[in-house]
Every structure is written in structure tokens, then in C-alpha cells.
Amino acid sequence: MNGTDVRTAEQATAASPSPTTVAFADLASRRRTESLAGLVLLGAAALAAIPALAIVGLLIVRGAPALSLEFLFGMPLHGMTAGGIFPAIVGTLWLVGVSLAFAVPVGVLAGIYLSEYAGEGRVARIVDLAIVNLAAVPSIVHALFGLGAFVLFMRLGTSILAGGLTLGVMTLPVIITSTKAALQSVPHSFRLASWNLGVSRWQTIRHIVLPNALPGILTGIILQVSRAAGETAPILFTGAAFYLPILPDDVRMQSMALSMHVYALVTQIPDVPLEMKYGSALVLVGTVVLLNSFATVLRYYLRRNRKW
């Protein structure tokens, strides 16, 4: 190799980047991509949060002047153009309570069966398919089902019981799914250790699996409480009264409900003060937000005290 070739090789070596330089350039490129992805995701989260914050802000600004003890604990007067919303609050609690009394035992037991007993057989696949289809049914279809099954066929009439059962059927899929997911999140080694000690399957579920899955189960139940409290269509034909200024004392009675009350104020009754409309909506949304917040705090507390 002559001198010219040596100098050319040395120049090419000097011009080519070192492995360290290439590594730093690649790291900088990845960091720029990561920063860009973070900004895009932050923008998507902001787009999702801004409408909710705007709705809550509007309700607070326009509905807060209507809030008072008389408004919260008074009876509606003059065809709901004055007075309070206490019967609607009490009726909502009745409807949600009946729905939970039906949906929680059935949903939790069904979730236990699917997680611990059903395995991967045909029956489990059919039940899973039915749950998915039930979750996809629109709420107005649930209302028609409740009207046909509970009001007419079972002859419960338009009542709190019929409306609560309709809400319970609507909330079943999420309770079943959340229970199943919470149970499956418990490590299988817990079950194996219990079985190796001679403990039966049901005792293992009752004393080992269920206590460790309780945070997820309770969270799913509480979130469905907030959904049931805010639904209008399922109780429209089954249990909600348009105007009934009395407090129900039996599940066979009709009752007012907050969601139905807001719908009636906005669409059916003229000359209702604007503050009453926004105030009723604010109480409904505030109830849902409080329930969701309670679910979040409860989930954090239970998960923090979990030992695995």
C-alpha cells in the first residue's frame, strides 16, 4: 500500500462516526420520539377531560345559587316549578338499593363460577358471550325488557321493585366482569398452597381468594351504583313517577328519581326557573362524582393494605 492509499484510509476512518457518537444520536432520537408521544397522549387526555370539566363548571356556576336546605330537603310545589327535590333523592336511593340487592349477589356468584369453576369449556364460553351481549344492549332496550318482564309478565306494576330489577339487569355485566377479573388477579400460588394443606376449593375461595379480590369487586360495584343513579331510560317505563310529591315507604310504590326529574324539568314543564334545572342536574352529577370518588379512595386504601 502506497502513501496515498494510507492517507485515504486514515481520512475515511476520521470521517466515519464512532460507535459512541452513533449510540448518543440514537438515544437522542428515541428521547425526542418519547417526548412527542407523551405530548400527543397528554393532548388526548386533555381533550377527554376538558368537556367533563366544562360541564361540571357550567353546572356549578348556574346551579349553585339554587342549592339550599329547602331545595335539597323540600317537597316539589306548584307542578315542580318551585320547592325542592327531596322525593327524587329518596326515590333514587330506593331504586339503587333494590338494584344492588339483586345485582350484587347474582353478579358476584356468577363471577366466582366463571373464574373458579367453569374453566374453558363450552358453558363458560356461552355465558361469556351472553355477558358481552348484555353489556352491549342499549339502556332503552333494558327499559322495554323491564316493562315486559317485570311490569307485565311478573305483574309487579310500575314500581320501585320493577325499576330496581331493571337497573340490576343492566348493571350485571360489569359486576360479573369486574368480579371475574378481580378473582383472576389473585396469584394462583395462593390457591395451590391452600389446596396442598387439604383445604377445599370453596374454603379456599371464601377465606383466601375473595378477601384478596375484594378491592376490585367493591370498585366495580360502586361504579355501577353511580351508573344506576344516573340512568333515565331503564326506569322511564318501570318505576319512575313524573310527579309524586310523597316519600315512598314500600318497594311496590312508584317514586320520583333524580335523572327522571331533570329530564322532566328540561323537556316537559314550562316556566321552571333556570336555577332549578341546573341545580337538579348539579345534585345528580355531584352524586355520581361523589360515588366515583369514593370508589377511587376505597380502591387505593384496600390496594395499599394488600400484602402482595
Summarised one tens digit per residue, pLDDT across range 224-256 is: 888 888 888 889 889 888 888 888 888 888 999
Instruction: Tell me the per-residue pLDDT of 200-215, one tens digit each, with 9 for 90 and over.
Output: 888 998 888 888 888 8
Span 124-151, pLDDT tens digits: 888 888 888 888 888 889 999 999 999 9
Residue 306: C-alpha distances to residues 193, 198, 210, 296, 299 (Å): 18, 25, 13, 15, 11
Q: Which residue is associated with the grid cell 355465558?
A: 127
Question: In the chain, what is the straight-line distance between the N-terminal and C-terminal CA atoms, in Å?
Answer: 69
The pLDDT tens digits for 27-84 are: 777 788 888 888 898 888 888 888 888 888 888 999 888 888 899 998 988 888 888 8
Among 124, 144, 152, 158, residue whose Cα is nearest residue 248: 158
Q: Calculate ∠ Cα 89-92-96, nearest 5°.
A: 145
Side chain identity at residue 273, one-letter code: P
CA atoms of 75 and 105, how far apart (whole Å): 34
